[in-house]
Structure 1
Amino acid sequence: MAFSLTRRTLFGTGAAGALAAPALLTDFASAQDATEPHGMTNGTTFKTLKLGAAKITVISDGTRMMGNPHEIYGLNQPADAVSKLLTDNFLPAGGFVNGFSPALVDTGNDVVLFDTGFGEAGREMGTGKLVDGLQAAGYTPDQVSVVVITHMHGDHIGGLMTAGKPTFSNARYVAGQVEYDFWKDEARVGTPAENGHKAVLEKVVPLAEKTTFIADGAEVVPGITALAAFGHSPGHMVFRLDSGNKALMLTADTANHYVLSLQRPDWEVRFDMDKVAAIATRRKVFDMIATDRLPFIGYHMPFPAVGFVERSDLGYRFVPATYQFDI
């Protein structure tokens, strides 16, 4: 299967517009599917696929049952419009399953982890399963050589530290400069973003000396390129993986529900900090993915979070991957 290798820079490096700061992200939607092959050990789930010479393992950090989709998605729409879209897609209108899926990319030279889940703070609510999933997939935390943080919401940075020490003891770190500067800034104190500020002080700042802070177009390791995709957070970034003759996008939280955020990309999402910028970003990222027929991994897509999109109606239709990576 040939994926387009058209390389492009999606966005500039300037900060997003005015921000509506949230509490720590804990709520996003996805549904699960049982695509094979995958492994399960003590409730942890992983999916491994090949892309060129790279081995990619998507790991479930856990799931949460959530209610009232309209309180998170389609804030600029009537509640019955959200309910109808869910019902039209064979989904219940009163609730959803929220999933969290970090990805590990083994290039042969580097073992690169994208995001770290909730960590120890999430275990009481059924998340924080990343390390167990890594081990089930045949990796240990000390094998991770690079940890990439797509943005600094709690479900992405919570697993950086365990019992006050780095979870990934041999890793160096990569994060966006714009994102770090926003969350570290003392100006967040006394605002709704204060909890996020405190989490960054606890989880990210202790690792700053080992962290490379990047901007749009930076190379993480050979074959992995960062692209600014601001809006969901001030410095949110997506990443392109090129290996052999194939390419894949890691879209992080650009879209957070495979129906509500993709079929209706212009619908506002509660935890998109700059909602106008987030909508523009969704369209730019997924227009490119649809045009180039690229596979993508979305942090909150239906597990194993891998699929494609095609243009449809007012937005995009999510097409889950099945055996494309096995042949």
Structure 2
Amino acid sequence: MMMPQMNRRHFLGTSLAGTALALSSPAIASKSITIGQKQLFALSDGYFDMPASLFLGAPKSLQAQIGDPARIAANTYAYRAESRTFLFDAGAGTSDFITHAFPTASKLPEDLSSTGISAEEVTDIVITHMHPDHIGGLAIGDRIAFPNARIHIAATEWNFWNAAGFAETAPEGMRPMVANVQSLSNVIKNNVSLHGGAADLGDGVSVLPAPGHTPGHTAIVLDGGREQFVVVGDLTVHEDVHFANPNYGWALDVDGEQAVATRVSMLDMIATDGLIMGAAHVTKPGLGRVERDGSGFRFQPL
């Protein structure tokens, strides 16, 4: 399924011609920026080592270049608004499912604490998609980790992962992950607010559909007036693969064809509109701009 051309202005209702970036201070420029008059923090949840063969279509030479296993960063973002504190994705958490497979992840709580933000201060958590490395941190065992936060998730995404019987009927390799997601969903369900994929969440925070990686995968857009910022979730999974070669797949995409179409369209939007991008799986802190480069793109870290 092909995706229509992305247009940020269609979703945000703005005709801003340009953007600007202000670093909060030279000392913390690598992980803190201002969007409008508000502060955004880039946070690290650690990293994952994954087989290079999961990058579908990537030649052996590229797989050797990125390493096998390939090291994949895990980033999240926190945003202070007027009376609200947002977290964009929640890290991998501490469930056995995550810690046995990826002992190098689950570092978000420490990094969040270093910004002076406590778990109790977080009022809103916006989820790009429900893979365990993005939602595992929402719960600690059978207890919600951010007790005062509303958790914003696309209804399409929630319904896909929580379909009755899915843990038994999913492809065999997915079943432990589905069971993990459904167990966590049961803990957080009373704090979840579902949206339709394109929604204004207030305080300059909007979401827009970016499907393919998962059915309800979304991007998060911050409108700070002159400054514009977009969190892209798993639109890209490695800076040396998916920018120069946006047509290469990723084995964990639910719909590979749609994921590629979304990636190309959204990277084109980000480059055209000069947006600042926050990427989950670009070397920390994952902040940069996107430039066109031949038939592909190039990520320019800030």
Question: TM-score normalised by the shorter chain: which range applies?
Answer: 0.7 to 0.9
More divergent stretch after superposition (203-212 vs 274-283):
203-212
| 2:189 counterpart of 1:208 | yes
Structure 1, unaligned runs of 5 or more: 11-35, 40-45, 87-91, 322-327
Report deviation, 1:302: 1.4
More divergent stretch after superposition (214-223 vs 175-184):
214-223
2:118 aligned residue? 140
Paired residues, number? 277
> Take 1:202 and 1:187, find their aligned partners in 2: how far apart are those partners?
13
Matches within 5 A, 1:35-114: 37-38=27-28, 47-66=31-50, 68-69=51-52, 71-73=53-55, 75-80=56-61, 82-83=62-63, 86=65, 92-114=66-88
> Take 1:196 and 1:243, find their aligned partners in 2: how far apart are those partners?
36
TM-score by length of 2: 0.85
Given that 1:174 and 1:212 are in contact with CA atoms closer than 8 Å, whether structure 2 keeps it comes out as yes
> Take 2:185 and 2:111, find their aligned partners in 1: how far apart are those partners?
22
Report deviation, 1:300: 0.6
Counterpart code for 1:162: I
Deviation string 1:63-120 (CA, Å, 9 cap, x unpaired) is 2344x41x111x235434x347x3xxxxx54443211111111112210101111111
Report deviation, 1:191: 2.0
Report deviation, 1:314: 2.2
> Take 1:255 and 1:245, find their aligned partners in 2: how far apart are those partners?
25
Secondary structure in structure 2 of the residue aligned to 1:300? coil
TM-score by length of 1: 0.79
Matches within 5 A, 1:290-309: 290-309=271-290
Counterpart among 184, 193, 216 of residue 235 in structure 1: 216
Deviation string 1:14-69 (CA, Å, 9 cap, x unpaired) is xxxxxxxxxxxxxxxxxxxxxx6449xxxxxx821111112101111112344x41
2:199 aligned residue? 218
2:20 aligned residue? none
Counterpart code for 1:8: H
1:149 aligned residue? 127
Deviation string 1:221-241 (CA, Å, 9 cap, x unpaired) is 231111001000111000110
Report deviation, 1:217: 2.2
Secondary structure in structure 2 of the residue aligned to 1:308? strand
Counterpart code for 1:233: T
Report deviation, 1:220: 1.7
Counterpart code for 2:108: L
State the identity %: 29
Given that 2:130 and 2:158 are in contact with CA atoms closer than 8 Å, whether structure 1 keeps it comes out as yes
1:117 aligned residue? 91
> Take 1:231 and 1:244, find their aligned partners in 2: how far apart are those partners?
30
Given that 1:172 and 1:210 are in contact with CA atoms closer than 8 Å, whether structure 2 keeps it comes out as yes
Q: Could you say which structure has the higher helix fraction?
A: 2
> Take 2:48 and 2:206, find their aligned partners in 1: how far apart are those partners?
31
Given that 1:215 and 1:226 are in contact with CA atoms closer than 8 Å, whether structure 2 keeps it comes out as no
Counterpart code for 1:167: A
> Take 1:196 and 1:182, find their aligned partners in 2: how far apart are those partners?
13
| Residues 1:6 and 1:184: Cα distance change in structure 2 (over 3 Å) | closer
> Take 2:113 and 2:270, find their aligned partners in 1: how far apart are those partners?
31
> Take 2:285 and 2:63, find their aligned partners in 1: how far apart are those partners?
25
Report deviation, 1:290: 0.3
> Take 1:111 and 1:282, find their aligned partners in 2: how far apart are those partners?
28
| Residues 1:156 and 1:293: Cα distance change in structure 2 (over 3 Å) | same
Counterpart code for 2:37: A
Report deviation, 1:8: 2.3
2:294 aligned residue? 313
Report deviation, 1:123: 5.0
